C-alpha cells in the first residue's frame, strides 16, 4: 500500500502533485471509495459526513474530479457478504478516509475486516486527520474521545509513527506546538505534528513530508 496521510485533505498543489504521482495516472482516470465512518462518533457527525461527500467541508478529497466514486460504510460491512464489497475495494485506485474519532474508526476497520485486508491492497490510502492517525501504533491520551470496548489508545500500526494533526489551527486552541510537544513526550516512538498544509507520504516504509506550511518531527532525542 501507499499512504498519503494528511491533516486536512489535498489542501495545496504540492500535496495534489504527490497524490497524482502516487496514483500513476490523472485523478480523472482514477476510481475512489470514500469512508466517513469516523465522523459519526463526534458531534454533528451526519452533517459533517454530508459536507465531506459533497465537497463542502474545506478539506478537499471527494471533490477532486474522480472518474467514479462510491461510499464504503464500515459499520455495514460485518452484516453483508464479503463478496459484495471486497472485490470492489481491491479494484479501486484510492481510499479517501475522512476524519472524526480515530479510535471509533479503528474499531470499525477491525470489525469490518478492512484492517486485515489493507496490507494486501494495491491502492493509495489517503487519510484526513483521524483517517491518518488511525494508521499509527497509537494516538496518545490527548486524542482519546470515543472509548473502545477494551480501552486503550492503540490503533492499526500500519506506519511506525504517530500524528498530531491541525497544528496551530485557529479554531483549535488546544492544538498549539506546545500542546504537540507535551503530547509527543508521552509517545513511545517517532511522532509528527503537522498543520493543514502538510501531508506525510509513506511507500514501503519510506517516509517523506510534503508541506507548504509547517510541521515538526519529534523523536526521543528531539523532545
The pLDDT tens digits of the residues spanning 1-36 come to 899 999 999 999 999 999 999 999 999 999 999 999
**Measuring CA to CA, how many Å separate 113 from each of 80, 100, 107, 116?**
11, 20, 10, 5
Q: Is the pTM of this model over 0.75?
A: yes
**Measuring CA to CA, how many Å separate 180 from each of 139, 160, 221?**
12, 18, 16
Q: What is the mean pLDDT of residues 53-69?
A: 96
C-alpha cell at 75: 459499520
Domains along the chain with CATH numbers: 2-218 (3.40.50.880)
Residues 6+ apart with CB under 8 A from 12: 197, 212
What pLDDT score does 220 carry?
Answer: 59
Amino acid at each position: 500500500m501507499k499512504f498519503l496521510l494528511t491533516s486536512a485533505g489535498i489542501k495545496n498543489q504540492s500535496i495534489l502533485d504527490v497524490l497524482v504521482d502516487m496514483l500513476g495516472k490523472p485523478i480523472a482516470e482514477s476510481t475512489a471509495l470514500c469512508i466517513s465512518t469516523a465522523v459519526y462518533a463526534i458531534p454533528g457527525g451526519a452533517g459533517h459526513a454530508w459536507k465531506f461527500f459533497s465537497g463542502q467541508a474545506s478539506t478537499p478529497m471527494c471533490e477532486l474530479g474522480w472518474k467514479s466514486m462510491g461510499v464504503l460504510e464500515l459499520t455495514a460491512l460485518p452484516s453483508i457478504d464479503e463478496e459484495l464489497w471486497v472485490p470492489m475495494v481491491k479494484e479501486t485506485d484510492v481510499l479517501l478516509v475522512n476524519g472524526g474519532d480515530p479510535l471509533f474508526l479503528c474499531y470499525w476497520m477491525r470489525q469490518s475486516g478492512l484492517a486485515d485486508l489493507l496490507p494486501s491492497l494495491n491502492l493509495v490510502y489517503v487519510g484526513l486527520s483521524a483517517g491518518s492517525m488511525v494508521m499509527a501504533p497509537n494516538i496518545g491520551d490527548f486524542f482519546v474521545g470515543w472509548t473502545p470496548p477494551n480501552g486503550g489508545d492503540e490503533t492499526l500500526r500500519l506506519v511506525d509513527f504517530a500524528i498530531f494533526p491541525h497544528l496551530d489551527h485557529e479554531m483549535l486552541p488546544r492544538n498549539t506546538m506546545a500542546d504537540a510537544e507535551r503530547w509527543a513526550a508521552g509517545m513511545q516512538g517517532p511522532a509528527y505534528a503537522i498543520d493543514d498544509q502538510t501531508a506525510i507520504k509513506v511507500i514501503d516504509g519510506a517516509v517523506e513530508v510534503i508541506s507548504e506550511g509547517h510541521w515538526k518531527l519529534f523523536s526521543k532525542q528531539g523532545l
